[in-house]
Amino acid sequence: MEKINIVIADDHEIYRDGLKLMFQKQKEIKVIGEVDNGQDLVAIAQKLQPDVILTDIKMPILNGIESTLKIVSSNHNIGIIALSMYDDNDLIVEMLEAGAKGYLQKNANKEQIIDAIKTVALGQVYYCNSTSESLTKLIYKSKIFNPYLNKKVIEFTDRELEVITLICKEYSTKQIAEKFFLSLRTIEGIKLKIQEKINASNTTGIVIYAVKNGLVDLESI
């Protein structure tokens, strides 16, 4: 597998250093640049053409939203992942509308960060596992951001639709299994099949797909 070349943009040097240290142990990921403001991010993205950019939303000179707009306008193949804090829901949606392909909370663990980079490098969208109900509703209401435009209609079985509805209602795998008198393994298999159909990396992706495509009524969940 070829290395995924990434650039890190954050105005906190300690946070950048922590990410770089983590990536040094990953054979498939290579940090090829780092910056501490949005203006330099635009310049380095144009120069180095990384596969993925990890960028804070709030940065000096140009913020993450402004720099994302500029980068995506010249090269939409660069996968941009927004780094956010807990209270950044409105800004996360603006980042997604600007062209970011995913977002992570800054306290995400190593597995989530690596999964996000690999997912976005493949051109797919990554949603942080801890997506809040309020953020889901903001994404649903967004008239600009829809990662599922121009994609063929996906057909689901009745059981898959039932599982999707329960996932949106925040049922755990165990609760879904108990409701249908099925094993945990069977429900996990159904969830994985759904994720494969819609190119989702986790159950959060299932929720976003469901609300964006009218499979569930947000007012009922």
Tens of pLDDT along 59-114? 999 999 999 999 999 888 899 999 987 667 888 888 998 999 999 988 889 999 99
What distance in Å separates the CA atoms of residue 56 and residue 104, rounded to the nearest whole number? 10
Torsion of CA 199, 147, 206, 28, to 10 degrees: 40
What is the pTM (predicted TM-score) of this model? 0.81
Tens of pLDDT along 183-215? 999 999 999 999 989 888 788 888 888 888 888
Task: Quote the pLDDT of residue 5.
Answer: 97
Task: Quote the pLDDT of residue 114.
Answer: 94
What distance in Å separates the CA atoms of residue 128 and residue 41, rounded to the nearest whole number? 23
Q: Given this chain, do its domains 4-129 and 158-220 carry the same CATH topology?
A: no
Task: Quote the pLDDT of residue 220.
Answer: 64
Task: Quote the pLDDT of residue 62.
Answer: 92
DSSP code, position 61:
S
Tens of pLDDT along 141-184? 787 777 776 677 789 999 999 999 999 888 999 999 999 999 99
Amino acid at 168: C
Tens of pLDDT along 15-50? 999 999 999 989 899 999 999 999 999 999 999 999
Task: Quote the pLDDT of residue 50.
Answer: 96
Question: In which band, very low, low, confident or very high, does the pLDDT at 1 lie, cut at 50, 70 and 90?
Answer: low
Q: Which fold has domain 158-220?
A: Arc Repressor Mutant, subunit A (1.10.10)
Q: Which fold has domain 4-129?
A: Rossmann fold (3.40.50)
What distance in Å separates the CA atoms of residue 205 and residue 148, rounded to the nearest whole number? 11
Task: Quote the pLDDT of residue 191.
Answer: 94
Pull the structure tokens for residue 171.
Answer: 């049922």
Question: In which band, very low, low, confident or very high, does the pLDDT at 4 lie, cut at 50, 70 and 90?
Answer: very high
**What are the residue ranges spanned by the domains of the chain?**
4-129, 158-220
* Higher-pLDDT residue of 122, 138: 122
Q: How far is CA 198 from CA 139, 192, 207, in A?
A: 17, 10, 11
Task: Quote the pLDDT of residue 205.
Answer: 85
What distance in Å separates the CA atoms of residue 113 and residue 104, rounded to the nearest whole number? 7
